[in-house]
Structure 1
Amino acid sequence: MFVLIFYFRVLIFKTTMSFLYPTFLFALFAVFIPVIIHLFNFRTHKTVYFSNVQFLKNVKQETKSKSNLKHLLILLMRILAISAIVFAFAQPFIPSGNQKTKPRENKVGIYIDNSFSSEAESKYGKILEIEKKKALEIANAYPEDSKFLFLTNDFKIKHQHLVSKEQFKDFVLETKTSPVFRNTSSLVSKMKTLFTANRKNKYSVYIISDFQKSSSDIEKIKNDSSENIIFVPILAEKTANLFIDSVWFENPYRPINQNDEINVKLINTGDEVYTQMPLKLFINNQLKSTGSFNIEAHSQTLEKINFTNNNTGTVNGRIEISDFPITYDNSFYFNYNLNDTNKILIIRENNTTNKFINSVFLNLNYASLKTVSINDIQNLNFNNYNVIISDGLKQINEKLKENLLNFTHDGGILIVFPVINCNTESYNKFFNEAELNFITGFDTSKIDADRINYNNEILKNVFKKKEQNLDMPVFLKRIIFSDQTNIDEEVLLYSEKNDKLITSGTYGNGKIFTFAQAADETYGNLVYHPLWVSLLYNMAFYNTSGKNIYYTIGTDFVIHVNNKKSASDNIFHILNKDKNIDIIPQFSNTEAYDYRLFINHMIQKAGYYNIVLNNKPVKGISLNYNRRESNLEHYTYKELKNYTSDFSEKNISIMNAEKELSKETVLNQNQGIRLYKLFLLLALLFIALEILLIKLLN
């Protein structure tokens, strides 16, 4: 019996054969019935007399040979007929690809990759149109009562339930390109979730995509015997693309009426070398700077664009290149906020000015200084200032502590200069609540600064290179701080004993810079050192509002908005009047005045947007398309087949979609090559041969 099974599975098909109903194979025991019948011959014998014994001997030998051959041939035909019938009822099929099981025929999930890469051209036309055509061909291969689950990159609510074939076709025809980027594994996982929610345990999933290497994370697809996954690759003819990958500022501060510099990363994924390609910078829709760049094939380059900040308020920037036919990644939007005047409040024990601090800012027409005594701050609104400097205060009382913490949390810059023998208890209450290292003591011995943190954003561009024999500041007396490591604090300047001399910490949306001395010459020569001006200037003009100069469409991000007025009875709007877009985002405020806005894929067009509350703009943001889509390199059909074969434990197969997908092609791909008809024909053939043998041999 097992020899027969092995014969059918290996010798005939030369491949692995599976059965939909393998328990029917137990019926192969029925082949013993004809065997038993042929072992017992119940015919009656008649005595015949012969005069010649030699003639009898010859007749007996000839009759016995023919009878044995006849019985063996008939027995073989009956065994084969029974085996073929049993195999037919067991529903044999040859799986396609890594297919392990045959799922139900009328529960089908179809995904169309409608990301921006589907705008590229395939051998037979635009990829998205071919994908839609193949989706309809697959649907037409299934019975009319089949149920379909349709998905695109948008994960629209209306798509997330089973629909009829006609409604599925309507969904396909209305599909348009989307900026949302999805990984293959997340699509399969989403399909599983939706089928489970619809109480369907066995189903087929067709992934119709260009299978970019940046998104095809097949190794992350989880094994699941209930699903049959079929990849339908529609491949782009050309994968060359030149695009802007990202932009950023090295410095966190934006100088007014001075030279500024923005970095632009460009990537070329094609075979062509580009020279003297135009690169343009627009500020508030006006051309601000033009330049050019060169880039080799299959490489990337970093370009720097210099410009002068003449605008204040929300500054909208855009960088552009020219590249065809893929154009959605030729522009990159960004924005930042720039105050026309940086208002600096200096709080001292008395209202006399500090010449060492004032000398840094006095000659700047975009900086406004105000010095007040600690006794005169009761009527001051700290939110009217961008920077507060605590200069030599003996203590930080409870009211001042609350005001400083609120000011910093809302995005303000605080610079702290403690004094020797200050009230450490009051200072440490402030430092503890700000989650910074606290004061542990004072030291009046002379010590040299020893090490500069060149990687810190305040000092990163102060030095052209790391100096080996730099003349370092000398400290004659200083404050000693604790050495906690589990806090968000960075050291800018270390002493030769590895003590902290200048630190930078984050609190809420703002920054706190702390010195281990007062801004006074009696503490050492730091106030005369070249570092002094760079440190104070860069700290004061640190741009806390410029942490995110852009966001990426299709990703999960949170927009922080500081708003003093309660928004519980009001609604935030995100507007772009040019694109006629007005959405109402979800928001929450877990902390006072800090509102978190969630867009949740509601915006799908790149550009500038204003966040508005009570018809007043509160913040500007910029949105860009996901650059992972810009790398059009994809797996070929052969590469995809080899790639999936590395994960043979997954229930995945590949469908060649170059020709029209007929009903037979689709069902064979989904259900494997069905063999039950073949075995029925073989059963009839063996029965016919048995009848023929009986007649001929008789």
Structure 2
Amino acid sequence: AAQFRDLSFEEFKNEVASVQSSPQVRNFDDVVSRASSVFDALAPSTLYYVSDLQSKTSTPRESSADSLLSIYIVPVQSGIESNIYIDSCWFNSPSRLSLQPDELNVRVRNAGGKNIENLSVKLTLNGVQRSVGTTNISAKSFEDVVLNFTNATNGLQLAEVSIQDYPITYDDHYYLSFNLANAINILSVNGQSASNAAAKLYDSESNFTVTQVSDGALDYSVLSTTDLVVLNEVSNFSSGMIQELMKFISSGGSLLFIPAEKPDLNSTNELLLAMGAEKLANADSSKLNVEGVNLKSKVFKNVFTQWEDRIDLPSVNKHFSTETRTTASSERLLTLGNGGSLLSSYRKDKGNCYVLSAPLRDNWTNFHRHALFVPAFYNIALNSVTNGISSEVIGSDELILISSRLENSETLEISNSENNGSFIPERVARAEGNGVFVHNQIKTDGHYLLQSEKGDTLQPLSFNFNRAESDMNFLTAEEFAQIARDLGIPNFEIVEGDTESLADKVQELHDGKQLWRLFLVLALLCLLFETVLIRIL
């Protein structure tokens, strides 16, 4: 019951009978803090904490109890010592494309004391089973299972990963969802007589839709449907163009900058500074080799099956030197022998920026003819699309970002097709973007849809029960007491026993030790002794 008022015994029994299970997870400190805030701060109060003392939720972390609050810990046996559950799921790549092979990583934990063999892990996508894997898991351990599948056609993708375990079943399902695009939209803005190396590569891939325009004919309205903008040897940038490009980047777009041979450094550096990138200086005619590849970056991760020290790498005949301006959001992807960079990446708001220090021309570099060119530019394009994978935890009440562009006044709705339930979430605007809070209105795990006022589906939302109570590690009463003493928690006592003795102990704690029977017997004995003395005397 969420209310706090004095109850008669009958009212109390009715309230207890009406209590239902909840997806909310409250740890010991939360309960004590809540009790302290509800009770009269100036009056002695009593809290009975009835729990199986599961370690993740019942371990005290801080001494927040009031000295006037007496805490009685009543341990109960859970009766369950084993549990297998799906801990988490993730993709290695942020982008998904329709009709392309993919793999989903699933972490499954065995919280019990026995080894598990041949556990089946299933993936269902839009109601159709798409992949099955099996795994063996040692006691008190976990295994990561890779489920291979082919993405369906474009649109909403509602995924469910499941196992079979008993008797705890709430954590046997894991829900996630995302939007799937047919292709990645690439806009190549070309300067006069620009090289076509980048556009030629992208145009050869069926996963990419490439539009080419000259820098003087750019229609800014197309940026809203573009994933990656390639600034291909544009020599001059107007303030209006810079402003529109920054809006595009800030809203989550990606930009690839390829310098012109003879750029206007003032306007070019104005754009680069706005992007958070290093400014271009004069051209350096030193012939240099690339001597470092950032294998941890998203662009080159998994490109090499095995790295060799003498591997052939791109070179430059000349390049633009830069004014060093290293920031926390910058990465050097291809480092030259003089410490400069051939290719760098920068994170700006919600978008990504990539900067080359040389045009893709033979008299400048051989990068566009090197084997690294294809995976580098391919991965830049792939990483320009984030499919907005949704996998929320019920009760966490964290901000859920909205990927669609919306009017500030538009009212949104979250609905569940399974039970036809719906509610209006709170809309907020933050630095990281527009989003919603659900404020504990989600009670059941599964798939939900975020919809506009017109009823259009903006994006799928998937919710999972909190896994905090899935772990089967428990504290003993002695372990709990020791932790509480170490933290200096005042006025706590462990109350143990079977159901009948517990009732007597609780009654005794409430009323004090009842000694009237003893005093009555003593009084009768005294009277008897007095009578005997009188007769003797």
TM-score by length of 1: 0.70
Q: CA deviation at 1:562?
A: 4.1
The farther-off stretch of 182-191 and 216-225 is: 216-225
C-alpha contact 1:511 1:544 (8 A) present in aligned 2? no
2:353 is aligned to: 512
Q: Distance in 2 between matches of 1:662 and 1:210?
A: 15
Task: Check if 1:413 corresponds to 2:254.
Answer: yes
1:571 is aligned to: 411
1:282 is aligned to: 124
Q: CA deviation at 1:695?
A: 9.0
Q: Distance in 2 between matches of 1:678 and 1:436?
A: 86
2:171 is aligned to: 329
1:14 is aligned to: none
Q: CA deviation at 1:345?
A: 0.5
Q: CA deviation at 1:331?
A: 1.4
Task: Check if 1:589 corresponds to 2:429.
Answer: yes
C-alpha contact 1:552 1:624 (8 A) present in aligned 2? yes
Q: Distance in 2 between matches of 1:504 and 1:680?
A: 86
Number of equivalences: 535
2:115 is aligned to: 273
1:388 is aligned to: 229
Q: CA deviation at 1:678?
A: 9.6
The farther-off stretch of 546-555 and 236-245 is: 546-555
Q: Distance in 2 between matches of 1:686 and 1:646?
A: 48
Q: CA deviation at 1:513?
A: 1.8
* Per-residue CA distance 1:610-630 (angstroms, 9 max, x = gap): 111121111112111112221
User: What amino acid sits opposite 2:365 in the alignment?
Assistant: G
Q: CA deviation at 1:421?
A: 4.5
Q: Distance in 2 between matches of 1:181 and 1:246?
A: 18
C-alpha contact 1:420 1:479 (8 A) present in aligned 2? no
User: What amino acid sits opposite 2:169 in the alignment?
Assistant: T
User: What amino acid sits opposite 2:216 in the alignment?
Assistant: N
C-alpha contact 2:124 2:130 (8 A) present in aligned 1? yes
* Per-residue CA distance 1:99-139 (angstroms, 9 max, x = gap): xxxxxxxxxxxxxxxxxxxxxxxxxxxxxxxxxxxxxxxxx
Between Structure 1 and Structure 2, the one with more helix by share is: 1
- Structure 1's unaligned 5+ residue stretches are 1-149, 151-157
Q: CA deviation at 1:343?
A: 1.4
* Per-residue CA distance 1:295-351 (angstroms, 9 max, x = gap): 22221111111111232122222211111111111111112222112111000114x
C-alpha contact 1:454 1:466 (8 A) present in aligned 2? no
Task: Check if 1:235 corresponds to 2:74.
Answer: no
SS of the aligned residue for 2:67 comes to coil
Q: 1:349 to 1:297 in 2, by over 3 A?
A: same
Q: CA deviation at 1:501?
A: 2.9
Q: 1:480 to 1:256 in 2, by over 3 A?
A: farther
2:443 is aligned to: 604
Q: CA deviation at 1:436?
A: 3.7
Task: Check if 1:180 corresponds to 2:19.
Answer: no
Q: CA deviation at 1:532?
A: 0.9
Task: Check if 1:623 corresponds to 2:463.
Answer: yes
User: What amino acid sits opposite 2:243 in the alignment?
Assistant: E
C-alpha contact 2:53 2:59 (8 A) present in aligned 1? no
Identity fraction in percent: 24
Q: Distance in 2 between matches of 1:467 and 1:337?
A: 38
2:52 is aligned to: 210
C-alpha contact 1:206 1:229 (8 A) present in aligned 2? yes
1:538 is aligned to: 379
1:308 is aligned to: 150
Q: Distance in 1 between matches of 2:458 and 2:71?
A: 48
Q: 1:178 to 1:657 in 2, by over 3 A?
A: farther
The farther-off stretch of 513-522 and 608-617 is: 513-522
Q: CA deviation at 1:659?
A: 1.7
Q: Distance in 2 between matches of 1:585 and 1:369?
A: 38
Q: 1:235 to 1:426 in 2, by over 3 A?
A: farther
Q: CA deviation at 1:696?
A: 12
C-alpha contact 1:251 1:458 (8 A) present in aligned 2? no
C-alpha contact 2:393 2:465 (8 A) present in aligned 1? yes
Q: CA deviation at 1:553?
A: 1.1
2:473 is aligned to: 633
C-alpha contact 1:610 1:618 (8 A) present in aligned 2? yes
Q: CA deviation at 1:247?
A: 0.7
Q: 1:617 to 1:255 in 2, by over 3 A?
A: closer
Larger Rg over CA atoms: 1
Q: Distance in 2 between matches of 1:537 and 1:574?
A: 36
Q: CA deviation at 1:689?
A: 12
Task: Check if 1:500 corresponds to 2:348.
Answer: no
Q: Distance in 1 between matches of 2:326 and 2:45?
A: 52
* Per-residue CA distance 1:479-536 (angstroms, 9 max, x = gap): 3344444442222222233323322222232222222222333321111121111111
Q: Distance in 1 between matches of 2:325 and 2:494?
A: 56
Superposed CA RMSD in Å reads 3.1
Q: 1:543 to 1:629 in 2, by over 3 A?
A: farther
- Structure 2's unaligned 5+ residue stretches are none
Q: CA deviation at 1:478?
A: 2.3
Q: Distance in 1 between matches of 2:510 and 2:327?
A: 55
C-alpha contact 1:458 1:535 (8 A) present in aligned 2? yes
Task: Check if 1:401 corresponds to 2:242.
Answer: yes
2:7 is matched with which residue: 164, 167, 182? 164
User: What amino acid sits opposite 1:417 in the alignment?
Assistant: I
Q: 1:674 to 1:383 in 2, by over 3 A?
A: same
The farther-off stretch of 320-329 and 679-688 is: 679-688
Q: CA deviation at 1:275?
A: 2.1
SS of the aligned residue for 1:426 comes to helix
Q: CA deviation at 1:268?
A: 0.7
2:181 is aligned to: 339
* Per-residue CA distance 1:346-382 (angstroms, 9 max, x = gap): 00114x6743213322232231111110110146421
Q: Distance in 2 between matches of 1:406 and 1:517?
A: 26
Between Structure 1 and Structure 2, the one with more strand by share is: 2
Alignment of 1:73-112 (within 5 A): none
Q: Distance in 1 between matches of 2:380 and 2:11?
A: 60
Q: 1:421 to 1:353 in 2, by over 3 A?
A: closer
C-alpha contact 1:420 1:478 (8 A) present in aligned 2? no
Q: Distance in 2 between matches of 1:353 and 1:176?
A: 68
TM-score by length of 2: 0.90
* Per-residue CA distance 1:412-435 (angstroms, 9 max, x = gap): 221111235523332333333333
Q: Distance in 1 between matches of 2:333 and 2:421?
A: 44
Q: Distance in 1 between matches of 2:276 and 2:391?
A: 28
The farther-off stretch of 381-390 and 642-651 is: 642-651
C-alpha contact 1:251 1:461 (8 A) present in aligned 2? no
SS of the aligned residue for 1:470 comes to coil
C-alpha contact 1:348 1:392 (8 A) present in aligned 2? yes
C-alpha contact 1:261 1:304 (8 A) present in aligned 2? yes
Task: Check if 1:361 corresponds to 2:211.
Answer: no
Q: 1:546 to 1:201 in 2, by over 3 A?
A: farther
- Structure with larger RCO (C-alpha < 8 A, sep 6+): 1
Q: Distance in 2 between matches of 1:376 and 1:463?
A: 40
Alignment of 1:430-445 (within 5 A): 430-445=271-286
The farther-off stretch of 662-671 and 382-391 is: 662-671
SS of the aligned residue for 1:359 comes to helix
